[in-house]
């Protein structure tokens, strides 16, 4: 079964995530939390399809913690 294009194109590594440089760039808040392995609570907010779930998945993957999609 062939996956949808959006699923095939979804970034697989944090380094492949594009956008939100103020959060994910070299000095970004979320990037620093990931590097320190100390994630505070935060809300990913935005329109459908902008990458919220993808970012959550990538963060959990990077930190090797379970990811549950509801």
Report the domain count for the chain.
1
Give me the pLDDT at residue 70, please.
82
Amino acid 62: pLDDT: 94
CA distance linking residue 20 with residue 30, whole number of Å: 10
Domain encompassing residue 41: 10-62
- Give pLDDT, residue 30: 93
Could you report the average pLDDT of every consecutive run of 10 residues in the chain (70 residues)?
Answer: 88 91 91 93 93 94 91
Would 23 be classed as within a structural domain? yes
Q: Is residue 70 part of a domain?
A: no
Q: Is residue 26 part of a domain?
A: yes
Q: What angle do CA 22, 37, 69 make, to 5 degrees?
A: 80
Cα three-residue angle 62-67-69, rounded to 5 degrees: 140
Q: Is residue 58 part of a domain?
A: yes
């Amino acid at each position: 079964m062939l996956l949808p294009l959006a699923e095939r194109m979804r970034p697989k590594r944090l380094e492949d995530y594009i956008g939100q440089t103020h959060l994910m760039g070299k000095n970004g808040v979320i990037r620093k939390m990931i590097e320190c392995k100390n994630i505070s609570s935060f809300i990913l907010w935005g329109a459908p399809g902008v990458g919220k779930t993808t970012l959550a998945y990538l963060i959990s993957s990077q930190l090797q913690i379970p990811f549950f999609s509801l």
